[in-house]
Chain A
Amino acid sequence: MRKINKMVRKWMTDKMELPADVTMDLPRITMIGQLHIYIENHRGVLKFSNQELRLLLEQGQLLIKGNHFVIKTILPEELLLEGIIDQVIYINDGEPKKR
């Protein structure tokens, strides 16, 4: 059932040219050089330190590595991080987390 739902959504996104972040709850990530990263559609903070920010997504996790991290703003679905960003890594550990 869940798979069918997902397939329909993917098909609709492809055929109707809708933005993927709206229809499929994917994160929209905006980066300004190495200085800022703006993440929409996250599902919470898992780990936060000066060198690392681990965010929960609808599917998998997002890991951001770098230095001097400061969370400028945090809202239920948005997050603005400031610092020197080195890496942005998606972690897909098999099955999507159930919520």
Chain B
Amino acid sequence: MKNSWTNTFSGFTRIKVVGKYTELFLNRCIHEEISIWHIRRVGDEAIVCYVSLEDVKRIRPIVKETKVKVYFIERKGVPFLIRKMISRGGFVAGIVSFVALLFILSNMVWNISIEGASPKIEHELSQAVNELGIKRGKFHFLLPSVEDIQMKVTERIDEATWIGVTLNGTTFHFNVVEQTFPEKQEPVSPRHLISKKKAIIYDIFVEQGQAKVIPNDFVDKGETLISGFIGKEGKMEIAPAKGKVLGEIWYKSNVSIPLITEFSTLTGEKKTKHSLSIFDINFPIFGFGNPEFTEYETNEYRNRLNFLKWSLPIEYHRKVLLEKETLVREYSEEEAVDTAILMAREELMKKLDEDAVIKGEKVLHETNENGKVTLMIHYQVIEDIAKSQPIIQGD
């Protein structure tokens, strides 16, 4: 017995056999091993049955022999379906182009929504996004990845603490968390100002309170600089001390710098390879062969294709090979010392407050061994040393 689904592939027809000797026709057919099935009598001299398409030609001699007439009623199966599709080409083309269009459109950016931003930032953000190339009608797989966009956008807009970027179907969502600066509060509670570091007082300026130190005094950590107690003895009042105390502080720092350093840079030469991966199997589309340069770094970008809300197992790959160059930098001893001083200064500035001033610097010690220059540098820094300490009122 033939399976019905194999018949569907090869095609079959429903025929009506009319004549006196229909049983003879059946017997002849089975004798010739022509496969017919689903035989049903529809009248005194007529039966209906299915014949596979490949056997239709072979029933002709039997038809002549048994003097019956054959009418073809229905045509079923893939060959007829294909013929029908060809004859209605426009219809089929419509369906195919509809699916193709849907596929293309579901890989496009259709909307950009920004949430949680004030109008000013929203404007800035939409400009930044526009510059990144995210516009309506752009393809997802040609845009940088969501993480990249998030990084770039967050970098660009300083007023926002964090910008969350999500790609939801065809819409880019930007979720902005704005920076809110805490309002500077005037200290209302009574307090002293005390020293936060061991220092020599350089200058003192009192707005409110009572100065306890004068310039060139040496103070230890935690010593009171401006007292919150004001007024005469016996008629003492408590107030929040306010003022600025600049102290001179000594810092010592050690820097060492190698005379010869190796580092690599990108030359700007690059080669891009495009490929399409289906079920993790790569099919290169454009950019074949190996690059002309030997040393390179590889950046890979992957974008998944979507169909409506489902992501397909098809990925668009972009591989960028960037040429690398190894450079050797060599310092003479003098240059090394200069850069070391600069580096040490920069490092110190990072640690200090913004309004701190480096008053003087002095190289105390300098050694050159094992291809490294080591310096010990002494700094005199003027900075604000005042720190508030609340007065806890007893009773």
Interface membership of B33, Cβ < 8 A: yes
A-contacting residues, B144-165, CB 8 Å: none
Nearest chain B residue, comparing its CB with the CB of A79? B30
Choose one: A49, A69, A76; the contact of B30 (CB below 8 Å).
A76
Q: Give the distance in Å from the alpha carbon of A91 to the alpha carbon of B183 in the complex.
A: 112
Interface membership of B286, Cβ < 8 A: no
State the interface size on chain B (CB cutoff 8 A): 18
Q: Mark A17-55, 1 if CB is under 8 A from B, else 0.
A: 000000000000000000000000000111111100000
Interface membership of A71, Cβ < 8 A: yes
The SS class assigned to the B binding surface is mixed
Assess whether A48 is in contact with B47, with CB atoms less than 8 Å apart. Answer: yes
Interface membership of B22, Cβ < 8 A: yes
Q: Give the distance in Å from the alpha carbon of A15 to the alpha carbon of B37 in the complex.
A: 40
State the interface size on chain A (CB cutoff 8 A): 16
A-contacting residues, B23-47, CB 8 Å: 23, 26-27, 29-31, 33, 35-41, 47
B-contacting residues, A49-99, CB 8 Å: 49-50, 69-76, 80
Assess whether A76 is in contact with B41, with CB atoms less than 8 Å apart. Answer: no
User: With A73-B1, A75-B30, A76-B33 in contact, do A46 and B23 touch (Cβ < 8 Å)?
Assistant: yes
Q: Give the distance in Å from the alpha carbon of A74 to the alpha carbon of B51 in the complex.
A: 12
Assess whether B33 is in contact with A74, with CB atoms less than 8 Å apart. Answer: no
Which B residues form the contact surface with A (CB < 8 A)?
1, 22-23, 26-27, 29-31, 33, 35-41, 47, 49
17 contacts between A and B (CB under 8 A): A44-B30, A45-B23, A45-B26, A48-B39, A50-B40, A50-B41, A69-B41, A70-B40, A71-B37, A74-B26, A74-B29, A74-B30, A74-B36, A75-B30, A75-B33, A76-B30, A76-B31
